[in-house]
Structure 1
């Protein structure tokens, strides 16, 4: 009986030892799994996986980081196709810190812009920017970002469609990066790319084909349209320009904006092959025309500004949330119809950059008056952006989507 008891005790001891070993091994496996998960999580934060970057990181929520080692991404004077309206250094600006800011999303890093990689993506393709002068500035930025990777003999620029369509071509890649002037997307009396300043703006909110025929076969389309709609009322024409039977009616701002975007969205739905074409819509670009909004002196604007706005989530009166909501609603409706248009939400990140505008440091459209010369702030451009500068970041965001989809 004693032997049986000893055997039982011995077996029980083995069982306990085995259970202890199992418990220890289980604990080790759990600890290892947690460690690996944490390590992988840290690695993802430092080096986002390409396929996850745009889906798991909010690229538009972040902060500006001063970086004078890797920025600017190009030199103003070395960009062959730089616009005199955006060449602030050329026209006398001395404080150049606006060129050295990098956008850092909170949960990841933007991929470094690689001109050669983008051109490979664009091989045998068309990238077309469509919209107003702010979109044209983004187009100029994109040209400046990529053209250094193309030998002089293998790149060209030409204009067609009565000056509305500007085409940069990288011949080795058979790739084009284009800009088409259509500030309201739909047809309007401001469609001339040079003579578009009219006292009374009129749109044909149901007419878009005049413009759209130049974009139909593009592989990547980047639209914007906001500032030209920003007025209390706008004339809407039912009929054709020059037709005495046309019907005109004044429509308030947000409503007429939605009417125009609905026409655009219908065109996108029925004329774009979503399996072939990537679609983007750039949100409203903020203006900095009233220094009082950020605590500056009454009557001042962006002139002489050299620092950013540091207040988190600062939002100026020039950016109208109701119009932003219209864009979001139209894009959401398109998604329900199977068409994905990615919004490049540049509004908040650009709101902080009151020092990034040309101010007086640009080529002026018309000779300045003596009154303007005596008061520089009276003609300061607080709408467009110096290059290199803020629009380069818009293109880094665009590059993230193009290269990771």
Structure 2
């Protein structure tokens, strides 16, 4: 179910460090447990990495300890399924729920219908993986392939996603799908468009993922950059949130993801972001410069807390909140990264809970006694 009586904290596995930098999944899960998280969003890249570390022979036992160096060729589906079982065992060891498996990229609206059929077959595998992970949720982000590869017809997009929802509903056990508007999506880049798609799909197991970073990128950062001032940006964000509260059915929200960012990090140079000029501007900003919500000491300046207030307080959503942060720091090999990121996320969570007066006593008790500098019950927060 999307709603519970309290709010529960999760974090994306990629937000605790990247496998390619040497941060093992086991280390990251241990860090999540240490700092009071209840669940994780499993990034598929981490499952794929572990699958590549397993022996190809299904009868061969997994190495102990696991050698976290994958082979040079893609793993088989059997290796992926075994990896999912191992991840579930690790999560059980650390007392963590697998909230969802994500991201199932570049699915909806494909003009190449042969490729579309292939992706449906792949989604069947993902549903099997979800069952082994004991999660009932798969996240599909909006497609950001070039415009000559995807349709902009929302009815066609909804039809593809309806097909995915029906496939997921027929899985054993059944799976839900949540749809997220990426700020750099080709046809769907704003929450208003993703919610329109959710209504068109009209399936009980198909709902919305709201991400504070993507919402702020389009409804706050974009007008701030185009007008050169904060007043128009604030007006745009306020109008967007009023529409959210007036139109969205909270029961259709399956997941809320929290992230912040520094507006000055999206400064343009010769028409591109300085980080990765070949990428769309919001994708480069998202991939390299996300921060945890309300990390003002790190330069966070987006209205992420205001967005969360609209969702949790005004709409009354109750359920999971998951930190989803990408940052250049995550690719560093420093072995302290998982603990540092888990601690920063715990600090952010306590700020969110205090500022919005959320019912999250279990998590707050779990985090008592941790070394969380400047995090007190009266910690001053941005409005």
* TM score, norm. by length of structure 2: 0.35
Please state which structure has a larger fraction of its residues in helix.
2
* TM score, norm. by length of structure 1: 0.34
